Amino acid sequence: MASTLAPPKPQTAGAGPPPGPPGGGFGDDPQPPPQPDEAAVALRRYRTGMWLAIGGITMVFAGFTSAYVVRKGLGADWRSISLPPLLGFNTAVLLASSVTLEAARRRSLEPAAGAWLAATAALGALFLGGQYLAWRELAARGVYLATNPSSSFFYLLTGAHALHLLGGVAALFTVALRVRLQRVWRRRRAAIEATALYWHSMDALWIYVLLLLLVGR
């Protein structure tokens, strides 16, 4: 007697899900990539923007230097001027401002950072006031912008530097005020670091301008 055998049914009781591909099952939720720290991203962006600005300023003063050297060697109408002694005091004030700003940078997350930033801005304003007095001293001697090529370049170089430093003073006062008013500011360190980078570069630029004027006489 013939009998028909039915195919065996697959056993499902207690069976787990089918194996998935290596590295995780089909139903696994993908892990999100780690997010970069907001403060670190801000610091990197601020520094990049500041380096671009410093590069542009450097190119401007490189052009001034080339014109200064070429014009000095062109003719006998170049008459060197005696630099105001006040420039030495102004230089000391500006160097002191770098010291106070470095103190603010090292304490960027502390409440005292605002006071150090304000002190730096005040020293910067004192430097600008000293530069104005130096220009007045030259004017009292009868040395003006159009007196001779040497005086023209003196006013051009020192005036251009003062203009860029004025922007730094405004930035310092702004950051100092915000640090004082806001205890929680995620981008505080990035703002202070970027401002310090600009300020130190302006200090170095002033030393360069002063040496150029001294040697170029």
Confidence at 42, pLDDT banded by 50, 70, 90:
confident
Residue 146's contacts (CB-CB under 8 Å, 6 or more residues apart) are 152
- 24 occurs within a structural domain: no
CA pair distance 104, 92, nearest whole angstrom: 19
**Domain assignment of residue 154, given as a range:** 38-215
pTM of the predicted model, to two decimals? 0.79
- 203 occurs within a structural domain: yes
- 159 occurs within a structural domain: yes
Q: How many domains does the chain have?
A: 1
- 31 occurs within a structural domain: no
With a cut of 70, say whether residue 152 has pLDDT above it.
Answer: yes
Span 168-194, pLDDT tens digits: 999 999 999 988 887 667 788 888 999
- 155 occurs within a structural domain: yes
Question: For residue 17, what is the DSSP state?
Answer: P
- 129 occurs within a structural domain: yes
- 46 occurs within a structural domain: yes
With a cut of 50, say whether residue 3 has pLDDT above it.
Answer: no
Q: How big is the chain, counted in residues?
A: 217
CA pair distance 56, 203, nearest whole angstrom: 16
Task: Count the Cβ atoms, other than its own, within 10 Å of residue 203.
Answer: 20
178, 141 in Cβ contact below 8 A? no
- 106 occurs within a structural domain: yes
For position 108, which CATH number holds? 1.20.120.80
